[in-house]
Chain A
Amino acid sequence: MTDMQNEENPGVPSRRKLLQMGAIGAASIITVKPALAQTAGSVMNCEIPVPDPARSGQYVAADGSLVAPGTPGSFRGAGRAFRGEEVKRALSGGNLPGTSTDQSRAYVNYIRRLQSGQSGFTCYASLQMPR
């Protein structure tokens, strides 16, 4: 028997009984996901355009969806692509450069909704931190 052993008595399966209800009240499980995030800057010069050039005429709503130009509460597209490092900082609470707080939030929500096939998706995927 080699695994899941009681650490104090190797060879004996762990049969400690839990003493309190609290012990089963909450559990944390962190599942390790594949990561490229920390090295992304070293391996790829990547950018995320907001929005995708194919939809450059559309505006970005607060929730990140693309809407008709002039829709109330929405923002004109950034007109530039943001670098991986800039987006990473914005994902942890900073603002995207050259944007107001609300505008940055809208752009970040757009980025969070990117799907495979859209411009910038791989770049965004490489910036991901685990759940």
Chain B
Amino acid sequence: MRHQFSVKVGPVGFRVGSAWRAPVAALRHLYAQYPQPDGGITDFTVRLEPETMLRRWVRQSVAIEGDFMLPGAVPMALRHGLLAAEMGMNLQMAMGQRHFLLLHASSVERGGKVLIITGESGSGKSTLSALLGERGWRFMGDEFALIDPLTGLAHPFPRPISLKNEAIMVMADRVGAGRMGPLLADTPKGDIRHLIPSADALANMMVPGVPALILFPRFGHAAEVRTMGTSEVFVRLTQASTNYVALGERGFGALTRLVTQVPVRAIDYPDTESAIALVDQLWAELA
């Protein structure tokens, strides 16, 4: 493809090819402080292709393709190319990752121990991990938590955090403009801006930690903490993993070990300050 971009995020190397210059320029800027893939070896390739020949030039729209593709994906506007690239990278990970067990979760580290925050879109896990990353925790990732089946350790995948709508304002006030990507307005997911992880998060992108607490947050309710049954947690996490089945017995071993060894709580929270207070309280008590 005409324009190429490579980057390493945690243990994973990506190449993104694009028919247009603009998405690659935006990626280079957003990922300026990230390393290149080791020895130039990429694990996954994403291609941003024109949906049809005409769409390369007129009402430009981007079809997301790569090593792995999903039929039925709706093309995106060229001005949202940065989001298309991110979704493409997520797709490659979701479908192709075979070494690490992937959980749809955010994670942050403190004192060598890892807090894993899992939940559906809208549960607030991205925003919480971004906030904790500015409050003394090391940010490890907002989309995927990587669990090594051999060691049980959680590995970082600290991609720029995709902040949506209200969360953009919450974070933009706290960090300098230099750490925010461009505003992508009116994407299919609303307004999006990326937050570049802190220098500390990037410097330690190859440093794993021991999972010590798993939270299932629910935004928009009065603050409450609930325990969860181990089997319920296990089943829910199999559904929060895109590669549990593909990993076979290694996945089974990794996940049963995680749920039997790591404390889990469900938390309801009305606002982010309450969430942070609950996190601090539960970390002190359980981690």
Q: Could you tell me the distance between the alpha carbons of A120 and B71 in the complex, rounded to whole angstroms? A: 9
Q: Contacts A36-B94, A38-B240, A42-B104: A120 and B72 contacting too (C-beta < 8 A)?
A: yes
B72 touches A32 (CB 8 A): no
At the interface with chain A, which of B150-158, B193-201, B241-249? B241-249
Q: Is the CB of B188 closer than 8 A to any CB of chain A?
A: yes
> In the complex the two chains form, is B188's CB within 8 Å of A126's CB?
no
Mark out the residues of chain A between 24 and 53 whose CB falls within 8 Å of any chain B CB in the assembled complex. Answer: 30, 32-39, 41-47
Q: Is A102 part of the contact surface with B, judged by Cβ < 8 Å?
A: no
CA distance A33 to B70 in the complex (A): 18
Task: Please tell me the number of chain A residues within 8 Å of chain B, measured between CB atoms.
Answer: 26
Give Cα distance in the complex from A37 to B72, angstroms.
15
Asked, given contacts A32-B244, A35-B241, A35-B242, whether A45 binds B74 with beta carbons under 8 Å apart, the answer is: yes
Asked if B72 and A35 sit within 8 Å, CB to CB, the answer is no
Q: Contacts of A123 on B, CB cut-off 8 Å?
A: 72
Given known A-B contacts A36-B242, A120-B72, A30 and B235 have beta carbons under 8 A apart? yes
Q: A41-B189, A43-B87, A122-B70 are in contact. Are A34 and B245 (CB under 8 A)?
A: yes
Q: How far is the CA of A123 from the CA of B72 in the complex (A)?
A: 6
Partner of B120, one of A35, A38, A120, A122: A38
Residues of chain B from 249 to 283 with CB closer than 8 A to chain A in the complex: none
Known: A42-B87, A42-B143, A45-B87. A32 touches B238 (CB 8 A): yes
A residues in contact (CB < 8 Å) with B: 30, 32-39, 41-47, 83, 85, 119-123, 126, 129-130
Interface residues of B (CB under 8 A from A): 70-74, 76, 87, 90-91, 94-95, 104, 120-121, 143, 188-189, 235, 238-242, 244-246
Give me 5 other A-B pairs in contact (C-beta within 8 A), A38-B121, A42-B90, A126-B70 excluded. Answer: A35-B239, A35-B240, A43-B70, A43-B90, A85-B121
